[in-house]
Amino acid sequence: MIERRPVPAASLLARHAGADGYADCYCTEIDGSVSHAEFVEAFYTTPLFKVERLILRLAVSRPSTDAEARQLARGERDQFAAWSVKARDVNQLLLADFSGRTCSWLMTEAVDSGGVARTRLYFGSAVLPRRDRVTGRSSLGFAFSALLGFHKLYSRALLAAACRRLVN
């Protein structure tokens, strides 16, 4: 089951939570020990995410391959499709898109479940506000507000797809 949770305070995404921006966090647990690299590779190579990669290749000339996803996961690459690494930790990865307005975050956490190995998988996003030059107010913009419902469903679907890939 995928749950929406508050962004963990110690996460790399936490710096973008609050204020005028938007940040979310979804998580789930799966049986077994999953490394962060395995999770990142699985996430970016699911059939669902490959559709997004295709759109990015066609719409903004940002192609990517499964091999590049694997390199990103292993820490051998800092650019992937429309994103670049903003921060990295042993069990976390924070990426910013080429516009600098959105971030994606992946984290793994070992869970002690009575001697049975389990891994908690996290996926979150942040949208940074734009400041209106005329009014001085910050906002996320009409496009993001209009697509927020889709974003929430898509985030859950992406995490579920990565889980399926890891358990099969």
pLDDT digits (tens, 9 = 90+) for 46-66: 999 999 999 999 999 999 999
Asked which of 1-15, 64-78, 80-94, 131-145 is least confident by mean pLDDT, the reply is: 131-145
Q: Which residue would you say has higher pLDDT here, 131 or 24?
A: 24
What does the alpha-carbon distance between residue 1 and residue 152 come to, in Å, rounded to a whole number? 15
Which CATH number is 10's domain given? 3.30.530
Could you tell me the pTM of the whole model?
Answer: 0.92
Task: 111-117: list long-range contacts, CB under 8 Å, 24+ apart.
Answer: 111/29, 116/31, 117/31, 117/32, 117/33
pLDDT digits (tens, 9 = 90+) for 97-110: 998 889 999 999 99
pLDDT digits (tens, 9 = 90+) for 108-129: 999 988 888 999 999 999 988 8
The answer, yes or no, to whether residue 77 has pLDDT greater than 80, is yes
Domain containing 13 equals 3-167
Structurally, the chain folds into a number of domains equal to 1
